[in-house]
A and B are shown apart, each in its own frame.
Chain A
Amino acid sequence: MKKFLYIFIALIIFLGCKDKPAKTEKPDLKGNSYGPAYGDILIEGTIGEPSVLIPMLAGDSASHSVAGMIFNGLVKYDTDLSIIGDLAESWDISSDGLVITFHLRKGVKWSDGVEFTAEDVMFGYKTIIDEKTPTAYKEDFLQVKKAEVLDTYTFRVTYGKPFSPALTTWGNLVVLPKHLLEGRDITKSDLTRKPVGLGPYKLNKWSSGQEVVLESYKDYFEGRPYIDRYVYRMIPDPATTFLELQAGGIDMMGLTPIQYTKQTENDFFRNNFQKFRYPVFSYTHMAFNLKHPWFKDKRIRQAIAYGIDKNEIVDVVLFGLGRPATGPYVPNTWPYNPDVKKYEYNPEKAKQLLKEAGWEDHDGDGVLDKDGKPFQFTILTNMGNTLRKNTATIIQWRLAKIGIKVEIRALEWSTFVNEFIDKRRFEAVMLGWQIGLDPDQYDIWHSSKTKEKEFNFVGYNNPEVDGLLEKGRRSFDIKERKKAYFRIQEILADELPYIFLYVPDATPIVHARFKGIKPSPIGISYNQPKWYVPKPLQKHAMEP
């Protein structure tokens, strides 16, 4: 026994001799006195592991993040949300809006040296609409009536009907190296795990379950990226990721609200890191099954909205890092209508509306009832999402105060989608939507999109909204589109098929030695290839 004790003590001493990372960094870490330089490595901690690195096959955000560094599209978004050219230098749109002709950049090379041409775009387009390709993004491309390669650098598409989001769809989903994939089954190709792209970075190594290492593509057409390597390190949970950040094992991560507000407000973090905060293009909501006998009644939905305190949710769940949502758009973007009906927390009004609909506490048990039935329903949500879980819990607690009994059931994601959402077996769900940068939300609100597996899973049907959705996606006049979307938000705020809860803020944190980060409405990662670490501050100076 004693032997083991000695060994144990020896071990502890031995371990104590590790060299701790210096907690005080070099001088002027936070300043901007140095100029750009090549070199260094950026290590980002992520929770999800990418599954496939070809954009059109990817369903999850981890895959898209990494693939986005490797593949470029014809166009991309500028910081003011306008569309600018990426692989396409310029384009012409016909006066009726049905034909787009892209003029591609010359001299862009895939990382294996072969030149990028319009044939690659054509190939990508054909692949994505092929029914054998398992992709979630076909729909937008099915609108194309005809696609042609006019010459090596010119690609033209013709649409059947005017489709205003059209231009924005030509991102990195459809640009594929034809010379490597032609005639092969794309899902079985090596390229899903060893992609060949033409973006700022290319794949160096992928250790499954551990990390993905990207290295800069020296011949990238916009110029060689400053940072030589980009590493995604997979760490299973935010607490461990945060520890790695402090230990210097990673340089960048997305902070949770608690970490942002409570754990990074000290000297160590102020001196060594830079925090950012901006609204995410997504919103969280509670959706009602509009075929449910109770939720058919608008008054009930409105009553529930009055019974919820959105500010409380933002304060408690998000620690104030976000704002209440009133509709399916991000505040301060052009489609956002600030003047729609709002539902401030008002339990009395809620109870009154419910009474009008016939719900009162007749038997004195604290729960509203009607015809002998108690007002009780279940909110379904997905497991593993702390923010949604806590939001649902707060809603449950608040609704209990006005006499509504809520059960919360968290399901594992695939079961949730397949068994309950797709089959419409739910009373209410708590979910979120990513908001596209183009305001067209036809798929979510149009009454024709209610078949199984389509996105109007609540069964919303409003002919006026249908008409406005059509108008919005067929017009190219931004003023007309804005009018249509404003009116849609008015109607949605009145009818409340969803209770729009909040738009969260993204709160990334990056080590202070990385310069050139310019926060914008579209985040901070849009200009990653232009980030740099000045020579005196570089940490990983040698390329192993």
Chain B
Amino acid sequence: MDSPKRLFWKRFSRNKLAVIGGIIVAALFFVAVFAPLVSPYDPNDIDRKHILEPPGLQHLLGTDDLGRDVLSRMIWGAQISLSVGFVAVGISIIIGMTFGSLSGYYGGWADRIIMRLIDIMLSIPTFFLILAVIAFIGSGIWNIMIIIGLTSWMGVARLVRAEFLSLKEREYVLAAKAVGASGLRIIFRHIMINSLAPVLVSAVLGIAGAVLVESALSFLGIGVQPPTPSWGNILTLGKDNMEIAWWLSVFPGLAILITVLGYNLLGEGIRDALDPRLWGTESE
């Protein structure tokens, strides 16, 4: 019998779309991490002779209203967008796992309160909530990382809670209880590890969502503030110069699309590769 890991890889590699997603994500990672090396120009270099130039040999994706190279700004923008994605998702996972495990393991009042909280959070349109909080504590890259994290933990919480509910009664948990391990230890060692898989899927998909939200906020002018480059805030320039600078609108949006698509495909691919139901009866 193949180990679970090998099974996973086999299934994953058979899924062409998932592999494409993986490649996209890896490529983005590379660009983001090696931005200083990959970027042809300094993203902040102002060039009064090349303002609003269309794509050409010198500037592959054109220049913006201060003469800065769009390609370079987009490469550094990748770093920004992905950082926001990772940190925001990190925060949401920590919160989500905490609430989910408390809710699922202890049940009773804790469960009811937490579920109610989740209900409430889900009832307020998330974007409204994010905007309202930004109104009161300001925008900027750190603030939006935290805000996005604080408003997207609900899915993870539910997931972890479900895992807990279903795994609570499994033998080894009962066995550990019999042996006398304290409640807390049981949670974190045995069950958490099992719930990591769906949480991973949620995280990957969450990054896609966070990148979308960050670009929307930056596009509206309340996310990442210029002159720090973000795909969203380059699009703002695109909108203001719709008639004369199509490249400012087309390329950053394409980057967002590809990024989100990549993470979505990867996340769905991991989920499909993990899901025993789709693959008939195989042991875990």
Contacts and interface: CB of A to CB of B under 8 A. Distances in A.
A258 B225 contact: no
B66 A394 contact: yes
Interface string A411-452: 110010000000000000000000000000000000000000
11 contacts: A237-B240, A239-B243, A242-B243, A258-B241, A262-B244, A263-B243, A316-B67, A397-B44, A397-B45, A408-B225, A409-B140
A411 B134 CA distance: 11
What is the predominant secondary structure among interface residues of chain A facing chain B?
helix
Interface in B24-55: 44-46, 48, 51-52
5 smallest A-B Cβ distances: which pairs?
A393-B227, A316-B48, A239-B242, A410-B225, A397-B46
B4 interface: no
B243 A390 contact: no
Nearest to A309: B48
Interface of B: 44-46, 48, 51-52, 65-67, 135, 138-140, 221-222, 225-227, 239-244
B232 to A, nearest CB: 14
Contacts, number: 60
A201 B138 CA distance: 41
A389 B52 CA distance: 17
A312 interface: yes
A397 B41 CA distance: 14
B241 A390 contact: no
A180 interface: no
Given A239-B240, A239-B243, 5 more contacts: A237-B239, A238-B240, A239-B239, A386-B240, A390-B65
A491 B189 CA distance: 73
Given A408-B225, A411-B138, A312 B48 contact: yes
Nearest to A408: B227
A384 interface: yes
A528 interface: no
Contacts of A386: 240
Contacts of A271: none
B246 to A, nearest CB: 12
A315 interface: yes
Nearest to A398: B46
A254 to B, nearest CB: 14
Nearest to A316: B48
B85 to A, nearest CB: 23
A383 B66 contact: no
A383 B220 CA distance: 11
B51 A316 contact: yes
B46 A393 contact: yes
A383 B221 contact: yes
Contacts of B51: 316
Nearest to A257: B65
A258 B140 contact: no
Instruction: Specify which of A243, A386, A410, A415 lies most central, judged by the most chain B CB atoms within 10 Å of its CB.
Output: A410
A396 interface: yes
A238 B239 CA distance: 10
A409 B227 CA distance: 9
B66 A393 contact: yes
A139 B69 CA distance: 49
Contacts of B226: 389, 393, 408, 410
Nearest to A240: B242
Contact of A258 (B44, B67, B244): B244
B52 A258 contact: yes
A237 B240 CA distance: 8
A350 B239 CA distance: 38
A394 to B, nearest CB: 6
